[in-house]
Every structure is written in structure tokens, then in C-alpha cells.
Chain A
């Protein structure tokens, strides 16, 4: 339980949402989406923390009932989430490249042929 990390992760998510909601440049929106992902990742990895625990990496003989380590499951989840975040960023950026070619602009309020 690290309060600092939790607060930081929610601030990151909040900043990411703020970015997506207010910034007009598509690249800034992409950065905002990335911020949300990073905030979530920080939250997940912080959930698994136990005060005073060691890293959950053991050889076969070393693992005993008395070993006190941080929770490895959220770390695995975070790895998966980081990969998904990378994929999402890649996809967003490739769409932005194609949009720039087609629309000629990167401003979100000019890219609105579908509306109403």
C-alpha cells in the first residue's frame, strides 16, 4: 500500500484524460492516451507491493514458507498492459500518419467530416 503511488497514478490518469479532452493536436491526444496507460500500469504494479518484501525471483532451493516477497501477479499484468499500451500507441500513430496524408492537418477540430 503506497499512498503516494496511488495518488500519482490517478493524477496521471486524470492528466491523460485532460489531454485527450482539451488538446486539439492529434499527437498530443496520442500522448494523453499514453499517459492514461502509464497511470494504469503504475496503479497495477503498486497494488502488489508489500512493505519489506523482496523481488519475487527465486531459485528452486531458495523458496521457503518464510520468504516474503511482493506479489508477482500484478507485475505480470503490468507487463501485459505495457505491451498492450505499446500496441495502442503504434496503432494511434499509424492512423494519425494516414490522417495527415488524407486531411492535411493534425487539428482535431478540422477533422470532423463525420458529425451530426
Chain B
């Protein structure tokens, strides 16, 4: 049985690709058949990934699989290998869960579109390629998977091609993404020219002792290539455009899954392949890219009018957090980066799905137009608030735990090295967190609270089939937030150990002797001590006990609800009528009519308008935070011009960053 488990990685990837092809063949006529095929292939992949938890996470084995049984000959890798260690499986789990949620969401969300068989074919190919990327043990195989991933994602971004800007966003994504993929290809070619192998394990072993200037240049190319996929600064305008126009389930895939592939590539690159994360230059490079992405994207979000475009900027900002944490080079840094990567997929997916729900029911994503939707869509509002609280880092949701670990990792790093750079990074991370909170307060007020736009009077709540995937993600948000300790022990530490234990990585594929002969390091992860023993359960008990005390006092002391007293005259007893007084009968009839005034018409329940006539005046969208935006107006107008929307400019920024990284790597690596 354990032998058969080693087939699960390839079977999982195959089930997704086969599902794509079978859908394309059989799913054209009948929607039910198509949905069933899609569901089965996603479920199979998820189940197989879950089944791999036991051998890989709990027992710590590394599963190596040579395609076609082409095992290494004379200590040289000749076949394409799949290698699943805890780091790969960690990302594999994130991917399959996100794919499953996105697929079940799109059954209802996309039901009004046509040519859905193409959608599902592309979707399953996207999922298969992403899973193939993280489980792959071969560098060129990763490149092929990246290309499949890019093409399918571009096609899916442009899927609703009548939507404003969809084709444009897809073209920009394709062209600049092609720049990134070519960068990976050049890096692969340069590595091959030096080492004559493409197998990741063998490259790891050979690079332990044998790094020269050409491999350094290859490092720069690979780093920028994977950075393009992760949408680091300055590739983030592509993400903003693509997320805004893609259907919401695809936005979840792009932001939650494709960016994680870029992150996975970077982690493999610096921790396993080159193992140069302990060099200060590499730490500065990676952390600087992450910190700049983090800060610039969160400030850009203040200027946005489109709900999904704002969410896209926040997505890149959170990926910046992950890269910053990964670049610190410590075990705690890597663990917090992985935790935040997982949390980001979950809460960002939830936010994109709620945005999709709003778009599905109202047809609009304009923050200046929407408002007051919490009355019409209360359950979506709750889901949005859970997602917003997670991303802002409020306890007890998962964003708080992972952000706290990142702050601690950054501060510890700065104390250990005595370096002010990491202190600046730590403070930047804290400020970004507050700005994220501000941004989501803006979105909550603009979309869900405030006054309802008369245009959207007839909105209804989103159907249950769309709410179920959102609730799955929301529950994951809460669960991973309340039990950070067990998440750290069961999921994060095995992955961190696997990433740093290159000896096991190499010996699983190439044999123990090979690893020993090349003096591959066997460094396990250092023991990770969290400064704050954050135990959410005791907090919850504390809050509950005080809340119950307060509520007890409130209930005991609440006054009786007074009825609306009728106005003067109705209670006048039958006494002598004073001259000038109105007859009792008509007055009491008036009073009776007054008693019939329900709460709907009583003016005391209107919003206060300081004497003006009440009308629709929603304060939302661009009207918020003007005091803050006024101080930064030069920065904002510069950034507005810089994100010009022209394809050439975005390609130019990417090329400049490639040139800069090349220069730095040649000089300092």
C-alpha cells in the first residue's frame, strides 16, 4: 500500500489533466455531466493530496517518483522526476483546496455564461499545471507548467470578453508574463550550461560547492521569473488589471494559487537549490522586494474605485508580506511566511468570492455607486467582514497569528544582526497592517454599510450554492486562527524542516551516497520559539466572561419599551369642554390614526440630516479618507501616472527590474 501511495502525486496531476480532456470531449451537450466530471477530478486530486499527509508530514518521508521508471544511471539523472516533500505538499494542499472551492463556486457563479465547457477545460488545465509545478522535481518541467499556467490563466481572464477591459487585461498579463517565463527559461538554460542536468535534487547537490558567475546570473533570471509569477513589485500592475476583469472564481485562482507558485519557486530557489539564503546580499534582495511590494501596493489601494482592483492591490501587498518573511532567512521567518501564504489564499479567496457575489447580484463593482448592501445581502456581509477582519489582522482570525509571527521574525532578525534594515522592515509591516485595516473599513462602508443606492433596490441575497464555498473558507479562516499552535506544529514545522533539510531532498531522488559525496548539508530547522504564547482560547474565555457580565447588567437594567403616546387630546376625559378646544371625537380619530403609524413612517427613525430634507447621500468610495489622501497627494498623483495602463510601460518596468537584479547579482553574489 505504501508503494502505491508513491504514485499519488502523478495520479493527482493526471486526474486534473484527464478531467480537462474528458470535459472537453463529453461535456459539450450536458451541463450535469460536465459538472460531475469536473467535481470528480477536483475531488480526486484533493483526496490524494490529503492521503499524502500521513507519509509526508507525519512520518517525514520524501516521496520521489521517476516518470517512466527512468531512474538515475551512474549517478546522473536522466528522467523527469516528481518529488514531494513537506514543502511541496504544503503548497499542494493549499492549491487543491483552493481549486475545489473555486470549482464549486463557479458551478453557480458562471451558470449564466456560455461556452462553459471551454471554461471548465481551461480551469482544470490551470489546476493541473499548478499542481504539477509544485510537485515537480525537474526544472524544465517547472517551466512547462509555468507556461501552461500562464496561457490558461490569460484565457480565463479574458473569458468574459464583453466585459470592459477584459481583453486588455489579458493581453497585458500575457505579454509581460511571457517576459517572466522567458526569464525562467534563460535561467534554466544557463544552469544547464554549467551543470548539465535539469533535476532539482541533482542541481542542489552540484550547486553546493560549484557556484560561479554564470549560476549567479541564472539565479537573477530565475528570481525575476518567479517574481513575475508572484506579481512582485514592479510587476504588480498586471495583477491589478487581471484580477479586476477576471471572473471572481478565477481571481481566486490567480491571487490564491498562481502567486503561491511564484512564492514556491522563490523558496525552492533560495532555500534548496542555491542554499544562499544565509548570505546577507540575498536576504536584502528578497526582503527589499517584498517590503517595497507590501508598502507601495497598500498605498495604491486608497486610490481605487473598483472593488476587485482594490482587492488585487491588497493581494500583492500580502504576497509582499510573505516574501519579506521568506527573505529573512530564519526558520521562524520561513514558518511565518508559509503560514501567511496559506492564510492569504484562504482570506483573499473569501474576499474575492464575496466581491463576485456582489457583482453577480448587483452587476456593479464601482465603490462610488454601491452602498448599504448589508440590508439586502446580510449573509454575504458577514462573510465579507470575516475576510476583512482576517486580512487586517484582527484576532481571533488567522491573519493576526501569521502577521504576529512575521513581526516577531523581523524584529528577532534585526536584533540578531544588529541591522537597522530589518527594523525598518518590521515597522513597515506594522504600518502596512494599519493601512490595510483602513482600506477595508473604506470598502465596508462603501459597499455594505451606509445608504442603499436606489438603483439596487431589488438586490437579493446570493444563492446558497455560492455561499457554501464561501463558508468553507470562512470556517478555515476561523479555525486556523484559533489554533495557531497546532497549525504551526503539524503543518508549518514539517514544511520548514523539509525546506532546510536539503540532504533528505537530494537523497530521496539520487540516493544517499550521492548526497554524502557532494557534502550536502543536513541542517534541520532551528527550534522555533514564539515570543508570545498566544493562546486564543483563554482570550475567548476572558472576553466571554466579561461580555456575559455586561449583558447581565444590561438586561437587568433595561427600561420597558414605551409605546408611542398619542398626541394631546385623546385622553381628555369627558369633562366640560373649554371654549376653543377641538371636539374630542375628531381628535381621537386623528389620534387613532396616529397610533396606526408604524415604525416605517415615523420620522424619528430617519437618519439625522440636521434639518435638511432627507435624500440619498452615501458617504463612500472616494469621499473617505480625504484628510489622509490630501497629505499624500503628490505621491498619489505620481503613482497614478506611473500606473499608466500602457502595455509598453509595464514591460519597461519589468525589464528594468530584470536589469537591476542582474547587475546586483553579478556585483555582489
Contacts and interface: CB of A to CB of B under 8 A. Distances in A.
A20 interface: yes
B172 to A, nearest CB: 8
Interface in B423-478: none
Nearest to A99: B167
B651 interface: yes
Contact of B168 (A29, A87, A99): A99
A87 B181 CA distance: 13
Contacts of A111: 168, 171, 647
Contacts of A13: 182, 186
A55 B196 CA distance: 18
A91 B140 contact: no
Interface string A87-99: 1100110011011
B297 interface: no
Contact of A88 (B178, B240, B303): B178
Interface string B178-206: 11001001101110110010100000000
A107 to B, nearest CB: 10
Contacts of B188: 77
Nearest to B244: A114
Contacts, number: 125
Contacts of A74: 189, 192
A34 B204 CA distance: 32
Contacts of A115: 643-646
Contacts of B170: 95
A106 to B, nearest CB: 11
B560 interface: no
Interface string B275-315: 00000000000000000000000000001100001000000
Interface stretch (B147-155, B375-383, B577-585): B147-155
A102 B467 CA distance: 34
Nearest to A112: B645
B59 interface: no
B624 interface: no
Given A40-B185, A95-B170, A114 B175 contact: no
Interface stretch (B158-166, B265-273, B518-526): B158-166
Nearest to A101: B167
Contacts of B190: 47
Interface string A17-48: 10011111010010001001100100110011
B174 interface: yes
A108 interface: yes
B189 A44 contact: yes
Given A47-B189, A74-B189, A17 B165 contact: no
A108 B172 CA distance: 10
Nearest to A100: B167
B645 A116 contact: yes
A96 B172 CA distance: 11
A73 interface: yes
Contacts of B241: 114
Contacts of A36: 178-179, 182
Dominant secondary structure at the B interface: helix
B648 interface: yes
A77 B188 CA distance: 10
A95 B196 contact: no
A81 B185 contact: yes
B441 to A, nearest CB: 21
Nearest to A96: B171
Contacts of A43: 186, 189
B169 interface: yes
B621 to A, nearest CB: 14
Given A21-B655, A29-B175, A115-B644, A95 B167 contact: yes
Contacts of B490: none
B646 A87 contact: no
Contacts of B645: 112-116
Given A47-B189, A99-B168, A33 B175 contact: yes
B118 to A, nearest CB: 13
Contacts of A99: 167-168, 171
A14 to B, nearest CB: 9
Given A40-B189, A114-B241, A114-B245, A95 B644 contact: no
A108 B198 contact: no
A80 interface: yes
A17 B655 contact: yes
B225 to A, nearest CB: 11
A92 B198 contact: no
A40 B652 CA distance: 19
A84 interface: yes
B164 A113 contact: yes
B144 interface: yes
B143 to A, nearest CB: 8
Contacts of A109: 646, 648
A77 B178 CA distance: 17
Nearest to A80: B144
B633 interface: no
Interface in A64-81: 71, 73-74, 77, 80-81
15 contacts: A17-B655, A20-B655, A29-B647, A29-B651, A37-B182, A40-B189, A73-B192, A81-B185, A91-B174, A95-B167, A103-B168, A109-B648, A115-B646, A116-B304, A116-B645
Given A21-B652, A73-B192, 19 more contacts: A17-B651, A20-B651, A21-B648, A36-B178, A37-B182, A43-B189, A74-B189, A77-B188, A77-B189, A81-B185, A84-B147, A87-B147, A88-B151, A108-B647, A111-B168, A112-B644, A113-B168, A114-B169, A115-B644
Interface of B: 140, 144, 147, 151, 154-155, 158, 161, 164-165, 167-171, 174-175, 178-179, 182, 185-186, 188-190, 192-193, 196, 198, 240-241, 244-245, 303-304, 309, 640, 643-648, 651-652, 655
A-B pairs with the 4 shortest C-beta distances? A115-B645, A112-B645, A21-B652, A47-B193
Interface of A: 13, 17, 20-24, 26, 29, 33, 36-37, 40, 43-44, 47-48, 71, 73-74, 77, 80-81, 84, 87-88, 91-92, 95-96, 98-99, 102-103, 108-109, 111-116
